[in-house]
A and B are shown apart, each in its own frame.
Chain A
Amino acid sequence: MFSERECERYKRQILLFGDEGQERLKNAHIFIAGAGGLGSPVSLYLAVAGVGTITIVDMDRVDQTNLNRQILHFDRDIGRKKTASAKEKLQAINPDIMIYAIDVKIDEMNAADLIGEADGIVDAMDNYPARYLLNEVAIAKEIPLFHGGIRGFYGQATTIIPGTTPCLKCIFPKPPPKEVFPVIGVTPGIIGVVQANEVIKFLLGRGELLAGRLLIWDGMQAHAEEICVERNPACDACGGMVENTTARKKK
């Protein structure tokens, strides 16, 4: 059931997918790993869409160099924990949802517990070791991993449905070298919104996910294309998983 305020807030999207769709969003719990460049647009758009429970995890403090892209954080937040800043903004933009902001480094000891009973994991990390960890938990819990990555004007996104699509390790078996990556805020803006769009479609059980498809965005050319990606039967993360014949795990 929705309050009068919620009915008004979501009026224009209930036109799209009805009360039943909105109920699905409200009953969902999404885990967002990272409150940075990707985590900002992902969390903001999932919050305003009415995803009922959002857990967002980050270990950093807001730095001035973050502010060209991490739109959850304001100049006045410099030096604050990103989780505190994120919770304040997300709760302010939608007081009708639950926000859990956890200030911790995601590691192999705590990842599965942090993700808990979430319906899906959003990869808003900035490094592959952490992404591989999220990938492992997604496989173990058989929940989707919504991957995004960016550099400069370039970005990539795909949706991983364990047992159905290739996992992150099938697609990217080896990480690229570490670097201080150049970035302009619009790129994580675009890719983060693609990820949020994927989450919403998954929760609604509607549309076609970026499943088995890697979307590649070139902002300089304003050109998006996709390539088909396949499972690697010898993958050390998901190779043992039996093919899941149901197209999508519906809520």
Chain B
Amino acid sequence: MRWNGGEYNGEEEEMTVKIRFFARFRELLGTDIMTDVAAGTMCTSLVATLAKKNPEGYAAIFDENGAFRDFVILMKNGKRIDIADAAKTLVTDGDEIAVFPPVAGG
């Protein structure tokens, strides 16, 4: 196994993960998206790849430096992931990633 900048360079091993967007993110990007990812994919790159399908959706979730906006809440299989750790959090086959914004109105 060889790593290079967080990307896996060995044999391609397809895995399927599910991404769930909530609230405004859902309006912009849809939800319950099943996607195949290569082994070694990190949480941030997975979400970014999907979010890029709609520039407005991407901009809602990521800042100009490609980092998660600070209010974004990320969950992997029902457990909170600190957004600061998302770039080094691996996704594995069968994972469910949830991405949502708190809603503020009252």
| Chain A interface residues toward B at CB < 8 A | 34, 36-39, 123-128, 148-152, 154-156, 171-179, 181, 183, 188, 216, 218, 227-230
Closest residue to A37 on the B side, CB-wise?
B106
Q: Are B105 and A156 in contact (CB under 8 A)?
A: no
State A80–B54 Cα separation when bound (angstroms).
44
Q: Are A172 and B73 in contact (CB under 8 A)?
A: yes
Interface size on B, residues (CB 8 A): 20
State A177–B71 Cα separation when bound (angstroms).
8
Closest residue to B100 on the A side, CB-wise?
A216
* Listed residue (B75, B78, B80, B103) with the most chain A CB atoms within 10 angstroms of its CB: B103
Interface 9-residue window, one of B11-19, B21-29, B33-41: B21-29
**B47 contacts the other chain (CB 8 A):** no
* Listed residue (B26, B79, B101, B102) with the most chain A CB atoms within 10 angstroms of its CB: B102
Q: Are A37 and B105 in contact (CB under 8 A)?
A: yes
In whole Å, how far is B103's beta carbon from the nearest beta carbon of chain A? 4
* A174 touches which of B70, B75, B100, B106 (Cβ 8 Å): B70
In whole Å, how far is B57's beta carbon from the nearest beta carbon of chain A? 15
State A155–B104 Cα separation when bound (angstroms).
9
Besides A126-B105, A171-B102, A216-B23, 19 more A-B contacts (Cβ < 8 Å) are A36-B106, A39-B106, A127-B104, A127-B106, A148-B106, A150-B103, A150-B105, A150-B106, A151-B24, A151-B105, A156-B102, A156-B103, A174-B71, A175-B104, A176-B102, A177-B71, A181-B103, A181-B104, A216-B22
In whole Å, how far is A181's beta carbon from the nearest beta carbon of chain B? 4
Known: A151-B24, A230-B80. A176 touches B106 (CB 8 A): no
Contacts of B73 in A (CB 8 A): 171-172
| Chain B interface residues toward A at CB < 8 A | 22-24, 26-27, 70-71, 73, 75, 78-80, 98, 100-106
Known: A228-B78, A229-B80. A218 touches B105 (CB 8 A): no
Q: Are A183 and B105 in contact (CB under 8 A)?
A: yes
Q: Are A176 and B80 in contact (CB under 8 A)?
A: no
Contacts of A152 in B (CB 8 A): 23-24, 27
Known: A228-B78, A229-B80, A230-B80. A176 touches B22 (CB 8 A): no
Known: A154-B22, A227-B78. A34 touches B104 (CB 8 A): no
Contacts A/B (CB < 8 Å), 25 sampled: A36-B106, A37-B106, A39-B106, A123-B106, A150-B105, A151-B103, A152-B23, A152-B24, A154-B23, A172-B102, A175-B71, A176-B101, A176-B102, A176-B103, A176-B104, A183-B105, A216-B23, A218-B23, A218-B26, A227-B75, A227-B78, A227-B98, A228-B78, A229-B80, A230-B79
In whole Å, how far is B36's beta carbon from the nearest beta carbon of chain A? 25
* Listed residue (A152, A172, A176, A179) with the most chain B CB atoms within 10 angstroms of its CB: A176
Q: Are B80 and A172 in contact (CB under 8 A)?
A: no
In whole Å, how far is A216's beta carbon from the nearest beta carbon of chain B? 6
